[in-house]
Amino acid sequence: MEMETAKETKCPKCNSTEGQMKKGFTGAGSQRRFCNKCKHKYTPNPKKWAYTEEERRQALRLLLSGNSGRGVGKALGMSRSNAYRWAAEEGEKIPRDVDKRKHRP
């Protein structure tokens, strides 16, 4: 995995600003960091999810492939507003009125 320095972040464990590496992403798309000094792995801006990364990833995937929020909620056992919120926080453009206006040819 490619690692590069990121000086703008600070290790939450040892408070060092040196040797902070980028190390992949979480399922929600948050940048993961790795402290080269104390070997601590962390996420600078963690999102407060109540669900696992895999569940969120699945919800987003379903939404983005055209499923309604209600359908996603049903499939994953969560509220559709959750699914929409995740998508919104990911910066994805999900049509919010997809459930209300069902266009049937």
Residue ranges binding Zn ion (CB under 5 A): 11, 13-14, 35, 37-38, 40
Of 15 and 52, the one with the shorter C-beta distance to Zn ion is 15
Q: Could you tell me the two tokens for 25?
A: 């992403």
Of 40 and 57, the one with the shorter C-beta distance to Zn ion is 40
Q: Rounded to the nearest whole angstrom, what is the least distance from the CB of residue 3 to Zn ion in the complex?
A: 15
Helical axes 53-64 vs 80-89, angle rounded to 10°:
90
* Beta strand extents in 1-105 (DSSP E only): 20-25, 31-35, 41-42
Q: Rounded to the nearest whole angstrom, what is the least distance from the CB of residue 45 to Zn ion in the complex?
A: 17
Q: Rounded to the nearest whole angstrom, what is the least distance from the CB of residue 65 to Zn ion in the complex?
A: 39
Q: How far is Cα 85 from Cα 89, in angstroms, rounded to an integer?
A: 6
Cβ 83 vs Cβ 59: under 8 Å: yes
Of 12 and 24, the one with the shorter C-beta distance to Zn ion is 12
